[in-house]
């Protein structure tokens, strides 16, 4: 049986096996430009040289919102149509529920850095391919290193799987706190259901509440 403290190197391929019984830690090293900042990452995403199957120069980039450094980072899956006008994540009903969820653990959205794995909306609002998610992933990891959160809440399967390199479902991944070491920075990852999903399946709110209580406990330490 796997050791609880086993760490998984990033060489395991697109999906590692975090979440298999007992494995809760993962380490990854990524290349980051010297003096990297959120502004620089956004400029790169918007530049002509940004190569991605979906996000083309001139398209709205829904990058993130909140303080440049934050103890708590909230990562969703991808923007919705409500987010295009403002170019901000979690607008509309999912955002309203997110704010309520965080308020329930005494956290204001304004004190968190909020973003998504995916930064734009594909034509026809289709789902993203694995390759497209991989194109976006390095930008997300650079965002994390710029913000340096102590705790990340990963809202939904895509967010949790992308951070943890897992194929497990969100129902399988949630209920556990994971440790992610990214270069020199270590943080806790708490996977839970996406507010957009909870709007459709409200009976899952009880489990999401259990996850959020863990976040509250971690913040009290």
What backbone phi and psi angles, to 5 degrees, belong to 79?
Answer: -70, 160
Options 196, 208, 212, 215; binder of ligand URA; rule CB under 6 A: 196
Min CB(156)–ligand URA separation in Å:
6
Min CB(18)–ligand URA separation in Å:
21
Asked if 156 is part of the footprint of ligand URA (rule: CB under 6 A), the reply reads yes
Q: Are 81 and 121 in contact (CB under 8 A)?
A: yes
**What is the DSSP code (8-state) at residue 10?**
G
Tell me the window of 12-20, 71-79, 105-113, 122-130 that interacts with ligand URA (CB under 6 A).
Answer: 71-79
Whole-number CA gyration radius for the chain: 16
Q: Are 188 and 178 in contact (CB under 8 A)?
A: yes
- Residue 30: C-alpha distances to residues 71, 179, 181, 196, 208 (Å): 21, 16, 11, 30, 31
For the record, the structure tokens of 217 come out as 């406990």
Options 28, 83, 135, 211; binder of ligand URA; rule CB under 6 A: 83
Asked if 77 is part of the footprint of ligand URA (rule: CB under 6 A), the reply reads yes
Residues 92 to 111 in contact with ligand URA, rule: CB under 6 A: 94
Cβ nearer to ligand URA, comparing 64 with 149: 64
Cβ nearer to ligand URA, comparing 155 with 178: 155
């Amino acid at each position: 049986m796997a050791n609880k403290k086993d760490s998984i190197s990033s060489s395991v391929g697109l999906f590692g096996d975090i979440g298999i019984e007992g494995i809760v830690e993962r380490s990854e090293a990524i290349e980051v430009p010297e003096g990297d900042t959120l502004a620089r990452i956004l400029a790169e995403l918007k530049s002509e040289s940004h190569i991605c199957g979906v996000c083309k120069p001139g398209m709205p980039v829904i990058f993130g919102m909140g303080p440049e450094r934050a103890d708590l980072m909230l990562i969703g899956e991808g923007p919705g149509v409500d987010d295009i006008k403002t170019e901000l994540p979690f607008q509309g009903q999912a955002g309203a529920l997110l704010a309520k969820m965080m308020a329930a653990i005494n956290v204001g959205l304004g004190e968190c850095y909020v973003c998504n794995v995916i930064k734009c909306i594909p034509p026809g609002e289709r789902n993203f391919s694995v390759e497209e998610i991989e194109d976006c992933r390095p930008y997300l990891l650079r965002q994390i290193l710029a913000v340096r959160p102590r705790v990340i809440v990963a809202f939904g399967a895509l967010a949790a799987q992308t951070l943890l390199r897992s194929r497990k479902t969100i129902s399988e991944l949630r209920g556990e706190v994971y440790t992610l070491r990214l270069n020199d920075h270590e943080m806790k990852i708490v996977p839970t259901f996406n507010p957009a999903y909870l709007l459709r399946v409200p009976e899952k709110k009880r489990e999401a509440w259990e996850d959020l209580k863990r976040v509250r406990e971690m913040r009290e330490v």
